[in-house]
Amino acid sequence: MELTYLGTNTLLLTKSGASLLIDPHFTRPSLLSLLGKIQPDPIAVEAGLASIARLDAVLFTHTHYDHALDAAEVLHQAGGRCFGSKSGANLIRGYPLDDSFLVPITPGAKYSIDAFQIRFHPSRHITFPPPFGWMLPKTGQISQLLQPPAWFWEYQCGTVYAIQVDSILVFGSAGFEPGAYQDVDVACVVMGIGGLDLMPTAYLDRLYQQTVLATGAKRVYLSHWDNFFRPRCEDARPHTLSRRSFDRLKRLGMRYGQTVSLLKIGETITI
Ligand SMILES: [Zn+2]
C-alpha cells in the first residue's frame, strides 16, 4: 500500500490500482474567508484529484470543515462511495448527492473496499482550550442536511473515528477513546497533530501510550501539521500550534522504540 500526504489530514491510499481518500481538503479557505460562508472550490478539487486514476471511497475521521468540506465535490467529480458518520451523510445528502454514494458504518465492523480492509474504531477529538474550543467544539452533530455555502462552524464535529486501513490506524485529531485500541494490531499510526501544542506534556504521554504503544505500531507519521489557511498546500508552513509537538513526539519515539516522522506534502511512502 502507498500513502501520499496532501496537506491538512488529506491522505491518499493506493493499492493494486484502487484508491481511498481520507478527509479530503483541497479548497483550503483562507482565515479571512472564514468570516463569510465557505464552499468547495471545484477547480481546487479537480487539481487535487489529478493524480488519482480511480477513486473507490472517501472516508471521514470527523466532519469539521477542514476534513469534510470537499468530500461531496470529490465524490461528484471522481465517483466512489462515502464511509462516515451520520453527520457525514447529512453533508453528502445536502450537497446534494443521492444515497447511492453513502455507506453507513458500524464501529468495529470490517469493510472490504476493493483490496483494502477497513475498520472504524471509536475515537475522540482533541479538546481545544477557549477561544479555539468555541470555534471548533469537539462534540456536536450535523443534524440536518447541510448545503454549501455554509458557515465553517456548521461543519460540526460529528462522531469521531480512528480509521484502520489494513495495518495503518489514522487519527484525524490528536484524541483517543481510552482503552479502545488494545486489540488493534497495526504497523503504523498516522496522527493528526493540529492544535496539539496547546496540550500539556502529560496529555501527549497519555496519547502516545493509548494509541502508539497500545497498538504496537513501530512507525508513527504525523499529519495535520501545516497551516491549512494557506491556499496552496505546496507552500505549506508548519502551523503555529503544531510546531513543538513534533519534537515532543519524536522524543517519545526514541524512548519507546518507534520512528516518528512528519509526513511531507506530496511525498509517497510505502507501508
Ligand atoms: Zn477537527
Q: Which domains does the chain have, with CATH numbers?
A: 2-270 (3.60.15.10)
Over the chain (271 residues), what is each successive 10-residue block's mean pLDDT? 96 96 97 95 97 96 97 98 94 97 92 96 90 81 97 96 98 98 97 93 97 98 91 72 87 98 94 92
Distances (CA, A) of 62 to 69, 76, 155: 11, 20, 10
**The pLDDT of residue 71:** 98
- Nearest Cα residue to 56 out of 124, 2, 113: 113
Give 156 Cα–ligand 1 centroid separation in angstroms: 9
Give 125 Cα–ligand 1 centroid separation in angstroms: 6
Residue 137 and residue 147: Cα distance in Å, rounded? 20
**The pLDDT of residue 242:** 72
Cell of 173: 485529531
**The pLDDT of residue 241:** 66
**The pLDDT of residue 240:** 66
Q: Is 170 helix (H, G, I), strand (E, B) or coil?
A: strand
- Nearest Cα residue to 222 out of 211, 206, 232: 211
Give 64 Cα–ligand 1 centroid separation in angstroms: 5
Give 147 Cα–ligand 1 centroid separation in angstroms: 19
Residue 141 and residue 12: Cα distance in Å, rounded? 26
